[in-house]
Amino acid sequence: MAPIPTPTDAPAASSAFPIAALGPLLSSSAAAVAAQTQAPVDLAAQHILTLAAMAAQRLIGLRLPTGAQRPVSCFFASLVGTGEGRGAVEKTIVDTVRLWERGFEDAFPMRVVAHIDEGVDTGVARPAPLQYLNLFYNPREPQAEDRYRSYVRQAGLFARHPHDLLQPGRPRREEAMSLCAIWNGKVLQRAAGLMLFPRLSLHLVTAPRTARVLLDDPELAESGVLGRLLVAAPASRIGARIYTLADSDEPPPAFTALLGALGALYERHSSAEFRVVLFSKPAAEMWLAYVREVEAAMAPGAAFASIRAFAGYVPEHAARLAAVIAFMQDCALEEIGEAHLAAGIALARYYTDVRLILRSLAPVTLGEAEKEELFKDWLGQRPKGERLRLRDVCRIGPPQLRDADTAYKLMRRMERLGIVQPTSAELAGAARPRRPNVRYAWKVQSDDQAEVSPGEVSSREVSSGEVSPREVSQSVA
């Protein structure tokens, strides 16, 4: 496991999160959860915004003033260190929503009866109530191909590590580009003429050091997925938290009220009630002015020149956030007004400030233990029995470990641990230095083959002279 992040891994405190911009329902819910868990309000707000985007993406789309139609799905990320209350917030919000989802499904027979009675009373035919919500998408099971290419649902994803979002053992750029296509609003057409509109809103909550490694990944930056992430970096509250006595850990009433509002939205059918929300004329002019402001700031030498990959999407981020916030205030929303857009722009400015601070920090330098853990995770996702050449590792391995000397050293280390095996006896020798013009190759061991006892590893390597007894004892420890 990677080392616990130190305080220097976290970015300096940025401008305060504009909690008031979320509107009465969302802001009160986020503030209540933060007060109960004593976690940063930014973290609670990111969770709440994800839930709101999950509900809104089913029922509305967005027509930008430029004419482009977009979904209102949002990708969030939060940089939260150890001990900051991440687990408490997830328990209060995510676990509660999962329980609420199961209760929603259990109450299906009662909703059917109410639906029939209402139809008899009003004489109006309506679509049957939903039986299953399928709110959460879990892509964590390793698959042989891109997990998002065939994604067809309208759901949300809460991830605790970048590996939950992108498979480490596959070319991650493919999955990243598929995520970008979903964010852009791709449409799938089946052979029978059925149109599917996959939608996904997500929230990645991970340690600051891990997140900074992700955000510095050139492969992911090139795919465009990093520009679509709305990153929050909550200031630590450790040392200033105030705990009070309580009789239970039930969610606060404000969050329960939010669940009630979400339940009413999930009672509505996306296929029958979906609509595209427009901008009012003053809001459209306001948005275009913000576009011009951001565009000027991306010029060479200007304020946003160092974060162009993100800044290019900032106006659309502001529009999507405005649509989600406005929809949660008025589910009959037809038009986005100036007040709604001002809230979206306030949030967009906060996320831009965070990116500027992160860009100003020095790149993360991985320690030896972190390199080994990252490499071991990558190998663990490779197919068992796969043949890997050294140049394959340098081409598709973790981007931070692709130079030949580092890759060779790590493969030899994995060889000592029994995770890989040289494909030829002539290439065996975990302590040998790398020689030029030698075609090194290894085979990924299956689980039963890799289970070698420490005694077997020690006796084999010591007897062959590949490693000293002291080194073996350290590796086993």
Do 345 and 405 have their domain in common?
no
Lowest-confidence segment of 210-214, 412-416, 463-467 by average pLDDT: 463-467
Q: Report the CATH number at residue 136.
A: 3.40.50
For 270, what's the count of Cα atoms within 13 Å in the CB-facing half-sphere?
19
> Which letter does DSSP use for residue 438 in this model?
-
- Is 384 a member of any domain? yes
Q: Which H or E element spans position 141?
A: none
Are 115 and 221 within one domain?
A: yes
Residues forming beta bridges with residue 387, ordered by sequence position: 443
- Rounded to an integer, what distance in angstroms lies between the CA atom of residue 41 and that of residue 362? 27
Question: Among 331, 360, 389, where does a domain finish?
Answer: 360
298 and 372 co-located in one domain: no
Residue 467 lies in a domain: yes
**From the CA atom positions of the chain, what is the Rg in Å?**
25
DSSP code, position 426? G
Residue owning tokens 């906060």: 350
- SS3 per-residue string spanning 243-256: CCCCCCCCCCHHHH
Cβ atoms 165, 157 nearer than 8 A:
yes
Q: pLDDT, tens digit, for every residue of 261-319?
A: 998 888 887 777 889 999 999 999 999 999 999 999 999 999 999 999 999 999 999 99
| Pair (139, 219) in one structural domain | yes
CA 152 to chain centre: 18
For the ranges 44-53, 310-319, 413-422, the lowest mean pLDDT is seen at 413-422
**Is the per-residue pLDDT at 106 higher than 80?**
no
Location of structure tokens 């605790």 = 160
Same domain, 392 and 355: no
Q: Is residue 456 part of a domain?
A: yes
Assess whether 378 and 353 both reside in one domain: no
The verdict on residue 63 lying in a domain is yes
What distance in Å separates the CA atoms of residue 65 and residue 224, rounded to the nearest whole number? 23
- Indicate if the pLDDT at residue 63 is higher than 70: yes
If you write DSSP's letter for every residue of 25-47 in order, what string do you get? HHHHHHHHHHHHHT--HHHHHHH
CA distance 75 to 85: 21
Same domain, 318 and 381: no
Residues 339 and 428 occupy one common structural domain = no
Cβ–Cβ < 8 Å for 265, 259: no
Chosen domain end from 360, 393, 419: 360
Domain that holds residue 419: 368-476
Q: Are the C-beta atoms of residues 139 and 164 closer than 8 Å to each other?
A: yes
Q: For position 451, what pLDDT does the model report?
A: 45
Determine whether 269 is exposed, middle or buried from the number of CB atoms within 10 Å of its CB (0-12, 13-18, 19+).
middle
The lowest-confidence range among 155-169, 226-240, 333-347, 435-449 is 435-449
Overall number of domains in the chain: 2
Helix (H) or strand (E) holding 61: strand 60-63
Give a yes or no: residue 2 inside a domain: no
Range from 307-321, 360-374, 447-461 carrying the lowest mean pLDDT: 447-461
Q: Please give the mean pLDDT across all residues of the chain.
A: 81
State the DSSP H helix or E strand holding residue 109, giving kind and residue range, or none if neither. helix 108-122
| Whole-number pLDDT of residue 352 | 96
Q: Which of 360, 390, 417 is the last residue of a domain?
A: 360
Residues 228, 189, single domain; the answer is: yes
pLDDT of residue 221: 85
Q: Find out whether 378 and 398 touch, Cβ atoms under 8 Å.
A: yes
For residues 372 and 353, membership in a common domain is answered with no
Whether 1 is in a domain gets the answer: no
| Whether residue 126 is found in the same domain as residue 263 | yes
- 353 and 377 in a common domain: no
The upper half-sphere exposure of residue 76, i.e. CA atoms within 13 Å in the direction of its Cβ, equals 31
State how beta strands 69-71 and 60-63 pair. antiparallel
- Tell me the whole-structure pTM to 2 decimals: 0.77
Task: State both tokens at 311.
Answer: 């800044």
How long a stretch of residues is the chain? Answer: 477
Helices 253-266, 96-106: inter-axial angle, 10-degree rounding:
40
Give whole-number Cα distances, 227 to 10, 34, 184, 270, 474, in Å: 20, 27, 12, 28, 42
Based on the number of CB atoms within 10 Å of its own CB, is 474 exposed (0-12), middle (13-18) or buried (19 or more)? Answer: exposed
Judge whether residue 403 has pLDDT over 60: yes
Contact yes or no for 42/17 (Cβ under 8 A): yes
